[in-house]
Amino acid sequence: MGANTFGHHFQFHSFGESHGFALGCVIEGCPSGVAVDLEFLQAELDRRKPGFNPDQVTSQRNESDRAEILSGVFEGKTLGTPIAVIVRNQDAKSQDYSQIKNNPRAGHADDVWSEKFSHRDHRGGGRSSGRETVARVIAGSFAKMLLRQVQPELKICAFTTQISDLKLSSIEKNDFLEKAKTDKGYLQDHFQARFPLKDQNAIKDLLSQALESGESYGAKAEIRVFGMPKSLGQPVFQKLKSDLATALMSIGAVSSFQLGLGNPDEMKGTEFHLKSEAEVYGGIRGGISTGEDLVLEVKFKPTSSILDIAKKGRHDPCIVTRALPVIESMVACVLADHVLLKRLDQV
């Protein structure tokens, strides 16, 4: 399988450099007859817009990342053929990058990339740029449309639980989960940072100051999937937990993946197994979903763009907000894939 391809049957092939003509993906293995919601696709893309606006924690519509569907969709439904979607890079040619050509940016992958391929697009991160995640959000949107149709109860929700020393209390978290579970549809909640602290000003203050002082922060996020079907995942090497791990660890800023919350390594068996709560064991046993909520946790390292002189004052002080739709997209792709593969389990 190609190095830019994700998935077993529901697959997508990601392409595009951060400063090339366009980015996008080709989705293969999506069945025919899925209702295509263009507004939803665009809303998902808008959630991962670049830049942080300290005056509002909510996203502002970014007109530039406009999805163009080239194939695979006709009269509002998927055809069962490859779905090609692109997003153009608007300022691909407009800047002068000659000075950074021979100066790989510290903290980025510029130098390892040059070493590996000898020839590199020096105008930006190329494929190692966070901009590549546009392809993932496109694929994830189609995965969610498929899931909406075949698994209508299923709902994927990623949210921030910690940035620096700001941590969600268990009351704040439970309130959020209650609301998230009962909310209708996938579209809800596009316009918030998804860090449901009561004191939203504390977040603004922390990130604004970081922006000013050239600092960045790591973060922790949790993923919940409500309405999980049973029997997703295959034994041994397509365990649901290992497919989710590769999905999320393939995101640049993610350093760590955990199934379930807390510290399983510090627990006793009598505690761990007798509790038998999804929060502890994560909703997967023997690699296969049990039907309980899926509970995952990922850690983000602090962004490296603080080291990038060119981005002074425009860097992302914490990547987590923009990363949440990417995380949800990758989880959706894994689940869509396994929902289809489940059809092949029994004769």
Query: Which of positions 304-343 make contact with a copy of itself (CB under 8 A)?
Result: 304, 306-307, 340, 342-343
Is 190 a binding residue for a copy of itself by CB under 8 A? The answer is: no
Report the site for a copy of itself in 208-227 (rule: CB under 8 A).
Answer: 214-220
Closer to a copy of itself by CB, 45 or 85: give it: 85
Site string for a copy of itself, 119-138 (x = CB under 8 A): xxx---xxxx---x------
> Cβ neighbours of residue 161 under 8 Å, at least 6 residues apart?
167, 168, 173, 195, 220, 221, 222, 297
By the rule CB under 8 A, 263 interacts with a copy of itself: yes
Sign of the alpha-carbon dihedral angle for 25, 29, 30, 33: positive
CB of 41 to a copy of itself, least distance (A): 15
**Footprint on residues 288-307 left by a copy of itself (CB under 8 A):** 288-290, 299-304, 306-307
- Binding-residue total with a copy of itself (CB under 8 A): 132
Among 105, 144, 224, 241, contact with a copy of itself (rule: CB under 8 A): 241
Rounded to 5 degrees, φ, ψ at 138 are -60, -50
Residue of the chain from 86, 158, 197, 327 that contacts a copy of itself (CB under 8 A): 86
Concatenated DSSP letters of 154-212: -EEEEEEEEETTEE--HHHHHHHHHHHHHS-TTTTTTTS-S---S-HHHHHHHHHHHHH
Give the DSSP letter of residue 277: -
Which CB atom, from 183 or from 256, has the smaller least distance to a copy of itself? 256
Alpha-carbon distance values, 240 to 9, 90, 245 (Å): 14, 38, 8
| CA–CA dist 265, 268 (Å, integer) | 8
53 CB-contact burial (10 Å; exposed 0-12 / middle 13-18 / buried 19+): middle
The CB-of-134 to a copy of itself minimum distance in angstroms stands at 12
By beta-carbon proximity to a copy of itself, the closer residue of 103 and 250 is: 250
* Distance of alpha carbon 41 from alpha carbon 164, whole angstroms: 32
Q: How far is the CB of 38 from a copy of itself (least distance, A)?
A: 14
- 3-state class of 26 per DSSP? strand
Pairing mode, strands 73-74 and 166-167: unpaired
Q: Which stretch binds a copy of itself (CB under 8 A): 43-51, 54-62, 178-186, 263-271?
A: 263-271
- Can residue 266 be called a binding residue for a copy of itself (CB under 8 A)? yes
**Closer to a copy of itself by Cβ: residue 47 or 108:** 108
6 is a site residue for a copy of itself (CB under 8 A):
yes
Q: Binding to a copy of itself by residue 183, rule CB under 8 A? A: no
Interacting positions 37-76 with a copy of itself (CB under 8 A): 68-72, 74-75
Stretch that binds a copy of itself, among 40-48, 172-180, 284-292, 321-329 (CB under 8 A): 284-292
Q: Find the binding residues for a copy of itself in span 148-177 (CB under 8 A).
A: 149-150, 162, 164-165
Give the integer Cα–Cα distance in Å for 131 and 322: 11
Q: How far is the CB of 115 from a copy of itself (least distance, A)?
A: 6
Work out which of 39, 170, 265, 313 binds a copy of itself, going by CB under 8 A.
265
By CB under 8 A, residue 24 contacts a copy of itself: yes
User: Which residue from 118, 119, 123, 117 is spatially nearest to 103, judged by alpha carbons?
Assistant: 123
Q: Which of 82, 175, 180, 227 binds a copy of itself (CB under 8 A)?
A: 82
Integer Cα distance of 320 and 19 in angstroms: 23
DSSP 230: T
Distance in angstroms (rounded) separating the CA atoms of residues 223 and 211: 27
